Amino acid sequence: MNVEQNIARLKHLIKLYAFGIDDFLKTISMGLKHLITEKELFAPSIKISYLKRIDKVFGKGLHYYLDPKAPKEDKESSIFFRKKKFNTELNIGARKVVNRFEEFKISLTAIAKLSDLNYSRKIPKFSTNNNPNQVAISIREILYPDFNRDLKMFLKSLITKFAGYNILVFEFVEYWNQKNKANIDGFYLKPNVIVLKRQQNSFRREIFTLAHELGHFLLEKEEVEELKIESLALQNLSVIERWCNDFAYSFLAGEYQDVIDQIETANSSNDYKFDLIETISKETHLSQIAIFTRLLLNNKISPSNYSKVKQDFDDLFRTKEKEKTKQKELEKKMGIKRRGSVPQPIKSPLLVSTIQTAFYEGVLNEYEVCKSLNIKPDKLVSYLE
């Protein structure tokens, strides 16, 4: 069976996701004896089975391709039309995540306007000419919450603080069996949206990513990226990335930055200052390897010693992961069932208050509130009280 498709919408998605035609045809033809041809792909009438294969890639729903309305291809509709080059070679999973939150941002902006809400910027813009350390000191005074040793609670407090200054933070969660996982840790979208990948096993990494993306917000320079610890030590980073890294470090280090600066050297003779660095990590939520990276940048640890320390951390992490896997397998053999809840994204108070106001103003109905907040109907009352 064939249906009439809107070819412009299909071409729009292929362009948005930066697919080459040949690569796209191979992707949607996987498992078929014969490749779907370009002529068949862009025919006014297309097989429903082909359309289903196409939608397995984009996840828009079949109705999207049948809608006669022309898609928007302006700079307002997507970062992929505003910016061509990113610090990370984005995979399909990353592009899907970015596209999803870009569309939600546009929808939420419209909802806010209809509800007479103002998302105006409350924090001044900066440039790379400004000293990132000095900027971090000033921004800490308004955006750094009360310190909490619980990493997840501290992350929630940061997101709440940001909400008070009209900075909207989202998390996205990926599951172990998910296909097309995104190769990014976070991104910033103009004017006020930061998106983070939930790092269930490393909230310190997520906290650093949030601080780094805050740097992009302060500079108002959009980016989508994967933040690898080892890349923080690279000397060939762009001016913007170096500034955001330095800002994030100073923002989290606070008064402990002086303690780190006073370390003369870290080597085998003083056990690489492990005890001190572990203490600083607990008091700042900077990871230990992030602190060692700063020592490397400050010439307080040699590249060879840094590599050794990093290898030790990597080996320790892999050992812990293996132990977790063995424990799970043992419990499975013994018939022990774990009761574990699926991680839920932290909801920004700015998102919740926007949706609440929209409901009270009659802009959204109950179904739309549940969809916007990604909650079940039985949870609705707790959000609308």
Of 322, 337, 367, the residue at which a domain comes to its end is: 322
Look at residue 329 in the predicted model and tell me its pLDDT: 78
Whether residue 244 is found in the same domain as residue 357:
no
| Burial letters 20-34, b for 16+ CB under 10 A, else e | eeeebbeebbeeeee
28 assigned to some structural domain: yes
Measured at the alpha carbon of residue 341, what is the angle toward residues 336 and 346, in degrees to the nearest 5? 160
Report phi then psi at 112, rounded to 5: -65, -40
- How far apart are the C-alpha atoms of 385 and 381, rounded to whole Å? 6
Instruction: Give the residue-averaged pLDDT of 78-92.
Output: 91
- How far apart are the C-alpha atoms of 355 and 298, rounded to whole Å? 46
Whether residue 374 is found in the same domain as residue 283:
no
218 assigned to some structural domain: yes
Whether residue 33 is found in the same domain as residue 182:
no
With a pLDDT cut of 90, the percent of the chain lying above it is: 76
Domain that holds residue 366: 349-384
**For residues 172 and 345, is the Cβ–Cβ distance under 8 A?**
yes
Look at residue 231 in the predicted model and tell me its pLDDT: 67
* 28-32, 62-66, 68-72, 321-325: least confident range: 321-325
Whether residue 235 is found in the same domain as residue 368:
no
Look at the chain and report how many structural domains it folds into: 3
What average pLDDT is seen over the chain? 91
| Burial letters 159-177, b for 16+ CB under 10 A, else e | bebbbeebbbbbbbeeeee
- How far apart are the C-alpha atoms of 54 and 48, rounded to whole Å? 10
Query: Would you say residue 317 has pLDDT above 90?
Result: no
Neighbours of 385 (CB within 10 A): 6
Look at residue 235 in the predicted model and tell me its pLDDT: 67
Look at residue 197 in the predicted model and tell me its pLDDT: 95
Whether residue 304 is found in the same domain as residue 219:
yes
339 assigned to some structural domain: no
Query: Would you say residue 46 has pLDDT above 70?
Result: yes
Instruction: Give the residue-averaged pLDDT of 345-361.
Output: 95
344 assigned to some structural domain: no
Q: Which of 207, 204, 148, 206 is nearest to 173 (CA)?
A: 206
Report phi then psi at 179, rounded to 5: -85, 160
Task: Return the higher-pLDDT residue of 166 and 325.
Answer: 166
Report the amino acid identity of residue 232: L
Give strand pairing partners of 4.
45
With a pLDDT cut of 70, the percent of the chain lying above it is: 97
175 assigned to some structural domain: yes
Look at residue 326 in the predicted model and tell me its pLDDT: 81
Whether residue 367 is found in the same domain as residue 293:
no
Look at residue 134 in the predicted model and tell me its pLDDT: 97
Predicted confidence band of residue 117 (pLDDT cuts 50, 70, 90): very high
Whether residue 124 is found in the same domain as residue 50:
no
123 assigned to some structural domain: yes
Look at residue 205 in the predicted model and tell me its pLDDT: 93
Whether residue 156 is found in the same domain as residue 292:
yes
Whether residue 177 is found in the same domain as residue 283:
yes
Sequence-distant (≥ 6) Cβ neighbours of residue 166 within 8 angstroms: 119, 120, 121, 122, 192, 350
Look at residue 72 in the predicted model and tell me its pLDDT: 82
Look at residue 230 in the predicted model and tell me its pLDDT: 64
Look at residue 343 in the predicted model and tell me its pLDDT: 86
Token pair in block for residue 2: 């064939």
Token pair in block for residue 206: 């997520």
Whether residue 160 is found in the same domain as residue 252:
yes
- SS3 per residue for the chain: CEEECCHHHHHHHHHHCCCCHHHHHHHHCCCCCCCCCHHHHCCCEEEHHHHHHHHHHHCCCHHHHHCCCCCCCCCCCCHHHHCCCCCCCCCHHHHHHHHHHHHHHHHHHHHHHHCCCCCCCCCCCCCCCCCHHHHHHHHHHHHCCCCCCCHHHHHHHHHHHHHCCCCEEEEECCCCCCCCCCCCCEEEECCCEEEEECCCCCHHHHHHHHHHHHHHHHHCCCEEECCCHHHHHCCCCCHHHHHHHHHHHHHHHCCHHHHHHCCCCCCHHHHHHHHHHHHHHHHHCCCHHHHHHHHHHCCCCCHHHHHHHHHHHHHHHHHHHHHHHHHHHHHHHCCCCCCCCCCCCCCCHHHHHHHHHHHHCCCCCHHHHHHHHCCCHHHHHHHHC
- How far apart are the C-alpha atoms of 353 and 82, rounded to whole Å? 29
Which pLDDT tens digit goes with each residue over 209-257?
999 999 999 999 999 998 876 666 666 789 999 999 999 999 999 999 9
**Whole-model pTM over 0.85:** yes
Look at residue 338 in the predicted model and tell me its pLDDT: 66
Handedness of CA 105, 110, 111, 116 (dihedral sign): positive
Query: Would you say residue 331 has pLDDT above 80?
Result: no
238 assigned to some structural domain: yes
Whether residue 127 is found in the same domain as residue 254:
yes
Query: Would you say residue 121 has pLDDT above 90?
Result: yes
166 assigned to some structural domain: yes
Which pLDDT tens digit goes with each residue over 362-385?
999 999 999 999 999 988 988 886
Which pLDDT tens digit goes with each residue over 178-220?
888 999 999 999 999 999 999 988 899 999 999 999 999 999 9
Query: Would you say residue 105 has pLDDT above 70?
Result: yes
Whether residue 191 is found in the same domain as residue 298:
yes
